[in-house]
Amino acid sequence: MPVSAEPRAVVVGGGIAGLAAAASLLRAGWHTRVIEQASSFSEVGAGLGVTANDQRALDAIGADGALEREGQRIRPAGTQFMDGSWLMKLPYHAAGTTRMYGMHRQRLHTALLDAAAEAELSTGMRVVRIDPGGTDQQAVVLVDTANGQQRVPADLVVGAGHCPRCRTGHRGIRDELGSACRVRCSASGSR
């Protein structure tokens, strides 16, 4: 499929994964649209631990400042046997903290919304079908909106949420990575 002069990506799902993908695509120069079925961008849930690898990923998309502002360093932790001896201990720094942060999911979600602020954010839209296009066509995401159906063209479609249409295997895509990792592509059809 030919990529347009300004490559266009559609991210299906406005949760943590979708917004992280959108922020990354924006930094790479893609025009990015996030489609979320819910009527607003909100995240529910409890706390989560942000590891060193997560911190590097947040740094790469410009959302790392949220950890210092909104998170708390986790004190030394690990897994203990019933007798109190340590099976595994998280390494910690001289300040007595680990490299992990704890934070509420909503705060991380808000930081990712900020990092993806330049994306076109669309709420209240349900994905009906995704046509993967072909060698000479863009993919098309068909969505239901309050005003009827809308066709959204894209050079890349990222399924980053609960989207059965994004998890349907497309028969025309080769398995590029071998049997350990199946390439999945969005396509029309039912589960």
- DSSP string for residues in 10-37: EEE--SHHHHHHHHHHHHTT-EEEEE-S
Q: What is the mean pLDDT of residues 147-152?
A: 94
Contact assessment for residue 66 and residue 44, using Cβ atoms and an 8 Å cutoff:
no
184: in domain: yes
Q: How confident is the model at residue 5 (pLDDT cuts 50, 70, 90)?
A: confident
55: in domain: yes
77: in domain: no
144: in domain: yes
Taking 50 as the threshold, does the pLDDT of residue 176 lie above it? Answer: no
Residues forming beta bridges with residue 150, ordered by sequence position: 143
Residues of the chain with pLDDT > 90: what percent?
A: 42
138: in domain: yes
3-state secondary structure of 56: helix
What is the C-alpha to C-alpha distance for residues 158 and 166, in angstroms, rounded to an integer?
A: 8
86: in domain: no
Q: What is the mean pLDDT of residues 10-33?
A: 95
CATH number at residue 155: 3.50.50.60
34: in domain: yes
Count how many domains the chain has: 1
- Per-residue DSSP letter, 110: H
Domain that holds residue 181: 1-70+103-191
pLDDT digits (tens, 9 = 90+) for 95-146: 555 678 889 999 999 999 999 999 999 999 999 999 988 888 899 999 999 8
pLDDT at site 163 = 61
168: in domain: yes
- If one counts every other C-beta atom within 10 angstroms of the C-beta of residue 143, the result is 21
Taking 90 as the threshold, does the pLDDT of residue 43 lie above it? Answer: no
